[in-house]
Chains A and B, each alone.
Chain A
Amino acid sequence: MAVNWLRKLASHKRAPVFPVLGKQGDKALRYLALSPEIELVDSPRHASVLLIAGEVPADRLEPLRRVHDQLPDPFTTLWFRNEPWPHLENVDRIDDLTDLPAALTKAHRELMTGQRDSGCRILSDRPPNPWKGEGDFGQGGEGMMGGVPYGRPMAMNMQEDISDGLTLDSLTFRLGPFFMAFPPGMAAEVTLQGDLVQSWETQLEPYPQRLDAVFFNARKHPVPIAEIELARARHHLQRLYHALHLAGLEALSLSSLRLAHGLSTSSTLDGLRRRLVRSGFFHLAAVGGGVLNTEQARQFGGPAARAAGLADDLRSHDAGYRRLGFSPVCQDGGGVSARWKQILDEVEQSLMLARQAERDEVYTNDVDCIETPRGPWDEQPPEDASAILDEILPGLEWGDALATIASLDIAAVADRGGGTQSPGESRAVQGGSGNVVK
């Protein structure tokens, strides 16, 4: 009786969901972030529903199995635009984004009230190497020091000290591809000394991102500048959401997301910018680390390059933009806070351009070289830049390293478009926020 009562109470909790992002799964993540009945958690240990959003490539299935087995009992899975594994019983596949929150809530409710059985483990719960002693005192290695006890390397310091002279044992590990602070799909092998990054090797590149369809249309025929600039601003604001979420500014990250969802030519950035500056984001959280030098910035392109002081922007060659008096905005510095200042400036500029272009009905002119929010696209779309992390992250503290990753848009741009935001999605969001201007 008492247990029933407890379970009933538990089913009233917001559904704790750990999202595993497959290709194009980040859209679902951003949609769920604004759903009041869903709580997105950062660690699989904190969830009772595992959401697999989007198609997961074959090389990331093994990590997915491990994440699946990390959820504490009772747990269940939900598959969004992905076919559930055949041996999982009683799990749903959802294809429509608007159905997703209700389905997650239902899964959680049923799990709590006992209508649905907890999922079963896939992998065997055994350590990768046996914990069995061989040595005289039960130790697993050859001597007291050194050796590979129980098949696990000992933490011995073999690396040059890069900080203050206090050389610590270094710690090497792999993280990803479903770590929430990485771009979807990215995995890296990291060596830490204390919480200082000693070396960084990106092992799996993030999934290519699909930009708004307007950028692909712009490669075929002239498109209204108002439309393309709004898409650009939306892209930047969505990235700002992830960064602010990581920085612990929950409320601001959600307003940024709401602004992105309901973006129109009459939207303004003033409120968000003011609150961001007042919160001390640029002084306390986004500190100067992660600076790109000129060479790296040129290689990277896009807003990151302009934040490092390079005034390269394909829009300035476009006749349509020239009519609007466009000139690229720049920052100097090239670090994390410079990049976010740049992003804010560009969003503001895009909104302004969109307003002017809408009034004067200006269209783009060039079709073979356009500036995407990720960077210039002349012959090929912008390529993956995750290799650059291996160069700039060593020497940063863990938190700064993650802030740097969040500030860089490293994923490549996919060849095919991702479609525009569907009207249903934006309507649902407007209902939730109530401060949309349209």
Chain B
Amino acid sequence: MNHGIGIDITFLSLATLAVVTGWRVFRTDSMVRASFFLLVSFIAVGVIMILLAAEYLGVAMFFMMAVEMTVMALFMVMFMMNPAGLNPMNMVHQERIAIGAGIVGFLVLGAMALLAAFPDQPVSADLEPVRSLGNEMLGDSMLIFESAGIVLLTTMIGVVVLSSHRGRYGAAAVGSLPPGLEPGGDPAGKLEEDEEEESGGHQHHHHH
């Protein structure tokens, strides 16, 4: 594939942007900012896809990820006690193992990229990527595409069931108790008097 120096410069800056913002996701105190860093990383990758002539996929990446990350940020604000990161935090576990695994993953995959010989068959210039994708999705691979749709529908139903306030046998949260702020401590948030109110409903055994 022939392209000018302009494309190379654009690619390099986008690649740097994608990696740096991807890294910042786990290095910022604010969880809202983290989700928007992730969004920037996705957008950079989306623009690279457009440079690669996958015009539909790149643009689809923008709107898919914009919606996903908005939802994510909203969840951060709704559930996190410190979404803005005004109080610095360090909520990590097994960090050394994780760093090791990350580096090993990068090295193995990078070695594959450098050492393996891949066939050199670039996209021909007269291919219309959007049309070809459309023909594939609603032609030969229609079954796969439709199954993805069915799975998404199933997910929606499952998610509503999981997150619904009321379960089949009464309120979903009956009998559960928040964990302590320190191991073995008193429950955080909701207090014991919740337990008495839950006597109706279903016969569930409490193990506290």
Contacts and interface: CB of A to CB of B under 8 A. Distances in A.
In-complex A–B contact (CB below 8 Å):
yes
Interface of A: 131, 133, 135-141, 143-146, 149-150, 152, 154-158, 164-166, 168-169, 194
B89 A139 contact: yes
21 contacts: A133-B88, A135-B88, A137-B88, A137-B89, A139-B87, A139-B88, A139-B89, A141-B87, A145-B81, A149-B82, A150-B87, A152-B86, A154-B82, A154-B87, A156-B189, A157-B189, A165-B166, A166-B78, A168-B78, A169-B81, A194-B78
B81 A154 contact: yes
B78 A144 contact: no
A131 B188 CA distance: 26
Contacts of B127: none
Given A146-B181, A158-B189, A165 B87 contact: no
Contacts of A144: 89-91
Contacts of A194: 78
Given A157-B189, A158-B189, A168 B87 contact: no
Contacts of A164: 165
B164 interface: yes
A42 B195 CA distance: 46
A73 B88 CA distance: 32
Contact of A145 (B78, B164, B181): B181
Interface in B152-174: 163-166
Nearest to B194: A160
A130 to B, nearest CB: 13
A157 B191 CA distance: 12
Interface of B: 77-82, 86-91, 163-166, 181-182, 188-189
Contacts, number: 53
A139 B86 CA distance: 8
Nearest to B79: A169
B166 to A, nearest CB: 8
A149 B87 contact: yes
A145 B165 CA distance: 26
B104 to A, nearest CB: 27
A138 B89 CA distance: 8
A138 B29 CA distance: 11
Interface centre among B78, B81, B86, by most chain A C-beta atoms within 10 angstroms, is B81
A156 B164 contact: no
A137 B90 contact: yes
A227 B147 CA distance: 76
A172 to B, nearest CB: 14
A259 B87 CA distance: 54
B81 A140 contact: no
A150 B82 CA distance: 13
B181 A155 contact: no
Contacts of A145: 81, 181, 188
